[in-house]
Amino acid sequence: MLNEIVLIAFYIAILLYSVIIHEVAHGVAALALGDPTAKYAGRLTANPVRHIDPWMTIGLPVMMLLLTNFKFAFGGAKPVPYNPYNLKNQKWGPALVGAAGPGSNIAIAIIAAILAKFITLPMAIKADIIYNFNDWGKISEVISGSMSAIFFELLVIIIFWNVFLAFFNLIPIPPLDGSKLFFSIFPIRTEMLIMLEQFGFVILLFFIIFFSGPLGIFLNFMLNLFLGITL
Protein backbone atom coordinates (compact mmCIF):
# COMPACT_ATOMS: atom_id res chain seq x y z
CA MET A 1 0.00 0.00 0.00
CA LEU A 2 2.84 2.40 0.85
CA ASN A 3 4.46 1.76 -2.54
CA GLU A 4 1.20 2.62 -4.30
CA ILE A 5 0.85 5.89 -2.36
CA VAL A 6 4.43 6.86 -3.23
CA LEU A 7 3.81 6.14 -6.93
CA ILE A 8 0.62 8.20 -6.94
CA ALA A 9 2.52 11.06 -5.26
CA PHE A 10 5.18 10.94 -8.00
CA TYR A 11 2.42 10.76 -10.63
CA ILE A 12 0.86 13.98 -9.30
CA ALA A 13 4.23 15.72 -8.78
CA ILE A 14 5.33 14.94 -12.34
CA LEU A 15 2.04 16.33 -13.69
CA LEU A 16 2.48 19.50 -11.61
CA TYR A 17 6.03 20.19 -12.74
CA SER A 18 5.30 19.28 -16.36
CA VAL A 19 2.58 21.94 -16.35
CA ILE A 20 4.87 24.45 -14.61
CA ILE A 21 7.66 23.91 -17.15
CA HIS A 22 5.09 24.35 -19.91
CA GLU A 23 3.98 27.71 -18.52
CA VAL A 24 7.49 28.95 -17.70
CA ALA A 25 8.54 28.13 -21.27
CA HIS A 26 5.88 30.54 -22.54
CA GLY A 27 7.30 33.27 -20.31
CA VAL A 28 10.90 32.58 -21.29
CA ALA A 29 9.99 32.70 -24.99
CA ALA A 30 8.11 35.95 -24.49
CA LEU A 31 11.07 37.46 -22.65
CA ALA A 32 13.45 36.41 -25.43
CA LEU A 33 11.13 38.08 -27.93
CA GLY A 34 10.99 41.36 -26.02
CA ASP A 35 8.16 41.03 -23.50
CA PRO A 36 9.21 41.01 -19.80
CA THR A 37 5.66 40.75 -18.40
CA ALA A 38 6.08 37.23 -17.02
CA LYS A 39 9.46 38.15 -15.52
CA TYR A 40 8.04 41.17 -13.71
CA ALA A 41 5.10 39.06 -12.50
CA GLY A 42 7.55 36.63 -10.87
CA ARG A 43 6.38 33.71 -13.00
CA LEU A 44 9.73 32.60 -14.42
CA THR A 45 10.30 30.29 -11.47
CA ALA A 46 9.95 26.60 -10.64
CA ASN A 47 8.29 27.51 -7.33
CA PRO A 48 4.86 25.83 -7.65
CA VAL A 49 3.22 28.36 -5.32
CA ARG A 50 3.57 31.06 -8.00
CA HIS A 51 1.75 28.91 -10.55
CA ILE A 52 -1.06 27.28 -8.56
CA ASP A 53 -4.63 27.86 -9.67
CA PRO A 54 -7.10 26.61 -7.02
CA TRP A 55 -9.31 24.85 -9.56
CA MET A 56 -7.00 23.81 -12.40
CA THR A 57 -4.01 22.84 -10.24
CA ILE A 58 -5.77 21.33 -7.23
CA GLY A 59 -9.53 20.90 -7.64
CA LEU A 60 -9.69 19.35 -11.12
CA PRO A 61 -6.81 16.85 -10.68
CA VAL A 62 -8.14 15.67 -7.29
CA MET A 63 -11.66 15.26 -8.69
CA MET A 64 -10.39 13.28 -11.69
CA LEU A 65 -8.21 11.07 -9.51
CA LEU A 66 -11.19 10.21 -7.35
CA LEU A 67 -13.42 9.54 -10.37
CA THR A 68 -10.85 7.27 -12.08
CA ASN A 69 -9.70 5.32 -9.03
CA PHE A 70 -6.42 7.26 -9.03
CA LYS A 71 -5.52 6.14 -12.57
CA PHE A 72 -5.82 9.46 -14.38
CA ALA A 73 -5.81 13.16 -13.64
CA PHE A 74 -5.49 16.31 -15.62
CA GLY A 75 -4.88 19.90 -14.70
CA GLY A 76 -3.09 23.11 -15.43
CA ALA A 77 -1.43 26.12 -13.89
CA LYS A 78 -2.26 29.80 -14.01
CA PRO A 79 -1.44 31.02 -17.52
CA VAL A 80 1.77 33.01 -17.63
CA PRO A 81 0.89 36.62 -18.52
CA TYR A 82 2.40 38.25 -21.57
CA ASN A 83 1.74 41.31 -23.70
CA PRO A 84 1.81 40.45 -27.41
CA TYR A 85 2.28 44.14 -28.30
CA ASN A 86 5.73 44.04 -26.67
CA LEU A 87 6.96 41.27 -28.95
CA LYS A 88 9.58 42.20 -31.52
CA ASN A 89 7.93 40.07 -34.18
CA GLN A 90 4.23 40.93 -34.26
CA LYS A 91 3.35 38.33 -36.91
CA TRP A 92 5.10 35.22 -35.60
CA GLY A 93 5.83 36.29 -32.02
CA PRO A 94 2.54 35.02 -30.54
CA ALA A 95 2.96 31.73 -32.41
CA LEU A 96 6.50 31.27 -31.07
CA VAL A 97 5.36 32.05 -27.52
CA GLY A 98 2.48 29.59 -27.94
CA ALA A 99 4.73 26.88 -29.37
CA ALA A 100 7.24 27.19 -26.52
CA GLY A 101 4.96 25.41 -24.03
CA PRO A 102 4.26 22.26 -26.08
CA GLY A 103 7.84 22.40 -27.38
CA SER A 104 9.22 22.17 -23.85
CA ASN A 105 7.01 19.17 -23.12
CA ILE A 106 8.07 17.42 -26.33
CA ALA A 107 11.73 18.02 -25.49
CA ILE A 108 11.26 16.55 -22.00
CA ALA A 109 9.43 13.53 -23.43
CA ILE A 110 12.23 12.89 -25.94
CA ILE A 111 14.94 13.14 -23.26
CA ALA A 112 12.99 10.84 -20.94
CA ALA A 113 12.45 8.31 -23.74
CA ILE A 114 16.16 8.27 -24.63
CA LEU A 115 17.13 7.83 -20.96
CA ALA A 116 14.60 5.00 -20.62
CA LYS A 117 16.06 3.35 -23.73
CA PHE A 118 19.42 3.01 -21.98
CA ILE A 119 17.99 1.45 -18.81
CA THR A 120 18.97 -2.20 -18.80
CA LEU A 121 15.83 -4.28 -18.37
CA PRO A 122 14.40 -7.27 -20.22
CA MET A 123 12.08 -6.19 -23.04
CA ALA A 124 9.18 -8.07 -21.44
CA ILE A 125 9.52 -6.12 -18.19
CA LYS A 126 9.70 -2.79 -20.02
CA ALA A 127 6.56 -3.71 -21.96
CA ASP A 128 4.84 -4.79 -18.73
CA ILE A 129 5.66 -1.45 -17.08
CA ILE A 130 4.45 0.54 -20.09
CA TYR A 131 1.18 -1.40 -20.20
CA ASN A 132 0.51 -1.13 -16.45
CA PHE A 133 2.25 2.14 -15.55
CA ASN A 134 -0.84 3.62 -13.82
CA ASP A 135 -2.28 0.36 -12.43
CA TRP A 136 -0.78 1.06 -9.01
CA GLY A 137 -1.32 -2.37 -7.48
CA LYS A 138 0.05 -4.22 -10.49
CA ILE A 139 2.96 -1.88 -11.20
CA SER A 140 4.15 -1.85 -7.59
CA GLU A 141 4.61 -5.63 -7.89
CA VAL A 142 6.35 -5.39 -11.27
CA ILE A 143 8.95 -2.83 -10.16
CA SER A 144 9.39 -4.01 -6.56
CA GLY A 145 13.05 -4.52 -5.60
CA SER A 146 14.48 -3.20 -8.87
CA MET A 147 15.87 0.34 -9.02
CA SER A 148 16.12 0.06 -12.80
CA ALA A 149 12.43 -0.83 -13.05
CA ILE A 150 11.49 2.02 -10.66
CA PHE A 151 13.42 4.59 -12.73
CA PHE A 152 11.89 3.20 -15.92
CA GLU A 153 8.40 3.58 -14.42
CA LEU A 154 9.08 7.20 -13.46
CA LEU A 155 10.39 7.97 -16.95
CA VAL A 156 7.27 6.41 -18.49
CA ILE A 157 5.11 8.68 -16.33
CA ILE A 158 7.20 11.68 -17.45
CA ILE A 159 6.71 10.67 -21.09
CA PHE A 160 2.99 10.14 -20.60
CA TRP A 161 2.29 13.54 -19.06
CA ASN A 162 4.52 15.54 -21.36
CA VAL A 163 3.22 13.93 -24.55
CA PHE A 164 -0.36 14.43 -23.37
CA LEU A 165 0.22 18.08 -22.42
CA ALA A 166 2.12 18.87 -25.62
CA PHE A 167 -0.27 17.44 -28.17
CA PHE A 168 -3.49 18.28 -26.34
CA ASN A 169 -2.38 21.90 -26.17
CA LEU A 170 -1.72 21.91 -29.91
CA ILE A 171 -5.44 21.66 -30.62
CA PRO A 172 -6.15 24.91 -32.55
CA ILE A 173 -8.96 26.13 -30.30
CA PRO A 174 -8.58 29.05 -27.84
CA PRO A 175 -7.32 29.17 -25.17
CA LEU A 176 -4.99 26.30 -26.18
CA ASP A 177 -1.57 27.04 -27.65
CA GLY A 178 -2.42 25.53 -31.02
CA SER A 179 -4.79 28.42 -31.69
CA LYS A 180 -1.89 30.90 -31.65
CA LEU A 181 -0.04 28.81 -34.22
CA PHE A 182 -3.16 28.37 -36.33
CA PHE A 183 -4.10 32.06 -36.36
CA SER A 184 -0.56 33.09 -37.28
CA ILE A 185 -0.63 30.80 -40.31
CA PHE A 186 -4.28 31.52 -41.19
CA PRO A 187 -5.06 35.10 -40.09
CA ILE A 188 -8.70 35.93 -39.36
CA ARG A 189 -10.57 39.14 -38.72
CA THR A 190 -10.11 40.73 -35.30
CA GLU A 191 -13.84 40.50 -34.56
CA MET A 192 -13.86 36.76 -35.25
CA LEU A 193 -10.72 36.26 -33.14
CA ILE A 194 -12.30 38.09 -30.18
CA MET A 195 -15.44 35.96 -30.49
CA LEU A 196 -13.46 32.71 -30.63
CA GLU A 197 -11.38 33.71 -27.62
CA GLN A 198 -14.51 34.69 -25.70
CA PHE A 199 -16.28 31.38 -26.34
CA GLY A 200 -13.18 29.26 -26.85
CA PHE A 201 -13.56 27.23 -23.67
CA VAL A 202 -17.15 26.28 -24.57
CA ILE A 203 -16.10 25.35 -28.10
CA LEU A 204 -13.23 23.28 -26.69
CA LEU A 205 -15.58 21.50 -24.30
CA PHE A 206 -17.92 20.55 -27.16
CA PHE A 207 -14.92 19.42 -29.23
CA ILE A 208 -13.73 17.12 -26.44
CA ILE A 209 -17.22 15.68 -25.93
CA PHE A 210 -18.03 15.04 -29.59
CA PHE A 211 -14.53 14.13 -30.80
CA SER A 212 -13.23 12.29 -27.74
CA GLY A 213 -12.81 9.10 -29.78
CA PRO A 214 -10.57 10.53 -32.54
CA LEU A 215 -8.78 12.71 -29.99
CA GLY A 216 -8.01 9.69 -27.82
CA ILE A 217 -6.76 7.73 -30.83
CA PHE A 218 -4.47 10.61 -31.84
CA LEU A 219 -3.05 11.11 -28.33
CA ASN A 220 -2.49 7.36 -27.90
CA PHE A 221 -0.76 7.22 -31.27
CA MET A 222 1.64 10.00 -30.28
CA LEU A 223 2.23 8.43 -26.87
CA ASN A 224 3.04 5.07 -28.44
CA LEU A 225 5.54 6.75 -30.78
CA PHE A 226 7.49 8.11 -27.81
CA LEU A 227 7.12 4.96 -25.71
CA GLY A 228 8.39 2.93 -28.66
CA ILE A 229 11.76 4.68 -28.28
CA THR A 230 12.14 3.24 -24.78
CA LEU A 231 12.11 -0.43 -25.86
Task: Kindly report, residue by residue over 150-186, the tens digit of the pLDDT.
Answer: 999 999 999 999 999 999 999 998 888 988 888 888 8
On average, the pLDDT of the chain sits at 88
Cβ 72 vs Cβ 134: under 8 Å: yes
Q: How confident is the model at residue 67 (pLDDT cuts 50, 70, 90)?
A: confident
What's the rounded Cα separation, in Å, for the pair 201 and 7? 32
pLDDT for res 65? 76
Q: Which domain holds residue 157?
A: 2-230
- pTM to 2 decimals? 0.92
Residue 42 backbone phi and psi in degrees, to 5 = 70, 30
229: left (phi over 0), alpha (psi -120 to 50) or beta: alpha
The pLDDT tens digits of the residues spanning 80-99 come to 888 888 989 888 888 899 99
What's the rounded Cα separation, in Å, for the pair 72 and 219? 14
What is the total count of domains within the chain? 1
Q: How confident is the model at residue 1 (pLDDT cuts 50, 70, 90)?
A: low
The pLDDT tens digits of the residues spanning 11-54 come to 989 999 999 999 999 999 999 999 999 889 889 998 888 888 88
Query: Is 59 a residue whose pLDDT tops 90?
Result: no
pLDDT for res 103? 97
Cβ 23 vs Cβ 43: under 8 Å: yes
The pLDDT tens digits of the residues spanning 222-231 come to 999 999 999 9
